Amino acid sequence: MALKYIEEYRNGTLARALVKKIHFASKKKLRLMEVCGTHTMSIFRHGIRSVLPAGITLLSGPGCPVCVTAQKDIDAFVEFARLDNVIVTTFGDLIKVPGSSSTLGKEKAEGADVRIVYSVFDAINIARENKNKEVVFCAVGFETTIPTIAAGILMGIKEKLDNFSIYSANKLTPPALAALMETDGVKIDGFILPGHVSVITGTNAYRETFEKYNIPSVIAGFEPIDILHAVLLLIQQNEKEKPDLENAYPRAVSDAGNIKAKKIMNKVFKVCNASWRGIGEIPLSGMNLKKEYQKFDAAIKFGMDMPDAPEPKGCACGKILLGLKTPYECALYKKKCTPMTPVGPCMVSSEGSCAAFYRYS
Ligand code: SF4
């Protein structure tokens, strides 16, 4: 669907025509998962769930980086904040995520130096201006942000910044899709694949998972027309029983992705196993610093190795990220757990499904 201007991707007439086609094509009950927090928010913001046939269920998957960060990594961030002479730099959402004993926000209120940044380069600036302190950056992100963090490390080397390091809780998307498909009880009839991650990875990154599981998969942009178009394609693939890997976001995503960004990412980081909230350890689903860059690894620099920790009592974030539950099915939703008093990360993050349900549904 080649449109030219952003307004066209929000055009009501086009949207109504797509909804009509969706209703016409939809015969089977289908569970479609959007694997990106930005899709989740866009779906709610534009009321997309309300215009779909009753048989189409949209599930929010493990696509919000804050939500999938394992409890032990949140605990590590809190421990860094408790160290003397350390400034912890973090994206805003993380500050409210409850760890096992505290949050970064609580530590800040009690005197820890925790600062909200908008990119790794803000953290580097803080390191430049505070040479007598150690600056730790909480690196939480997918393929979209990892190249920028790699660029930050290279800048740190160039400037001989000895007081800057990162704690990498970075994650890769395709291995998580494969892990979902292997998880008992998970039932997904199609993936709405993440637009901005795919700008970096390219369509080819999903080919192995698609070929192994033969699951309908469509890369989508974030405007309502993009999402409705992706839903239509997934319904058509299912109805025809012809699974395909389609790129419905060609204005931004190519087969090969952003080669320059991938090059810088792979120069600095190596693939490693990673722990995901609700899923556990997924082989080769994380990115940690290569040996030659390990002087920037905060876990090594400070000997930080936190044990695995359970999710907060009663919190169903893990099951929600797997599409096994909805926020409505969590006993704490809207009672003990609200955006003001979040129990789990899915209620904290602006891309979390509990926060989206709370705000829009
Ligand atoms: S409503 Fe709160 S406690 Fe329940 S799953 Fe969501 S974040 Fe966790």
**How does pLDDT run across 305-340, given as a tens digit for each residue?**
999 999 999 999 999 999 999 999 999 999 999 999
The residue whose C-alpha atom lies closest to atom 3 belonging to ligand 1 is 315
124-145 residue pLDDT tens: 999 999 999 999 999 999 999 9
Is the confidence at residue 218, as pLDDT, over 90?
Answer: yes
- Pairing mode of beta strands 280-289, 30-34: unpaired
Binding site membership of 330 for ligand 1 (Cβ less than 6 Å): yes
CA distance 341 to 20: 41
Q: How far is the CA of 278 from the centre of ligand 1 (A)?
A: 12
Average pLDDT over residues 226-244: 97
Q: Which of 60, 67, 333 to mutate to test the pocket of ligand 1 (most atoms within 8 A of CB)?
A: 333
The residue whose C-alpha atom lies closest to atom 7 belonging to ligand 1 is 344
pLDDT at 109: 98
Max CA distance (Å), the chain: 65
pLDDT at 2: 67
pLDDT at 351: 84
Q: How far is the CA of 346 from the centre of ligand 1 (A)?
A: 6
Q: Which of 40, 338, 343 to mutate to test the pocket of ligand 1 (most atoms within 8 A of CB)?
A: 343
Binding site membership of 337 for ligand 1 (Cβ less than 6 Å): yes
Share of the chain above pLDDT 90, in %: 93
Binding site membership of 43 for ligand 1 (Cβ less than 6 Å): no
Element (H, E) at 269: strand 269-276
**Residues forming a β-bridge with 167:** 138
Token digits of residue 146:
């990892």
The residue whose C-alpha atom lies closest to atom 6 belonging to ligand 1 is 354
CA distance 143 to 242: 29
Binding site membership of 343 for ligand 1 (Cβ less than 6 Å): yes
Is the confidence at residue 279, as pLDDT, over 90?
Answer: no
**Domain segments of the chain as ranges:** 66-172+270-301
Average pLDDT over residues 155-177: 96
Q: Which of 60, 326, 346 to mutate to test the pocket of ligand 1 (most atoms within 8 A of CB)?
A: 346
Average pLDDT over residues 100-106: 96
Secondary structure of residue 336 in the 3-state scheme: coil
Phi and psi torsions of 274, nearest 5°: -145, 150
The residue with tokens 């936190």 is 306
Q: How far is the CA of 67 from the centre of ligand 1 (A)?
A: 11
Token digits of residue 353:
């499904």
Share of the chain above pLDDT 70, in %: 99
Q: How far is the CA of 323 from the centre of ligand 1 (A)?
A: 14
Binding site membership of 193 for ligand 1 (Cβ less than 6 Å): no
Average pLDDT over residues 207-233: 97
Q: Using an 8 Å Cβ cutoff, are 224 and 196 in contact?
A: no
Pick the residue with more confidence: 137 or 360? 137
28-47 residue pLDDT tens: 999 999 999 899 999 999 99
| Average pLDDT over the chain, rounded to an integer | 95
Average pLDDT over residues 208-214: 95
Binding site membership of 356 for ligand 1 (Cβ less than 6 Å): no
Residue 291: Cβ-neighbour burial (10 angstroms; 0-12, 13-18, 19+): exposed
Beta-sheet strands, E only, within 169-208: 190-193
Is the confidence at residue 5, as pLDDT, over 80?
Answer: no
Q: How far is the CA of 260 from the centre of ligand 1 (A)?
A: 38
SS3 content of the chain, % helix, strand, coil (to 5): 45, 15, 35
Residue 282 is given by DSSP the state E
* The CATH number, out of the four listed (3.40.50.720, 3.40.50.11740, 3.10.640.10, 2.60.120.330), of the domain defined by the range 66-172+270-301: 3.40.50.11740
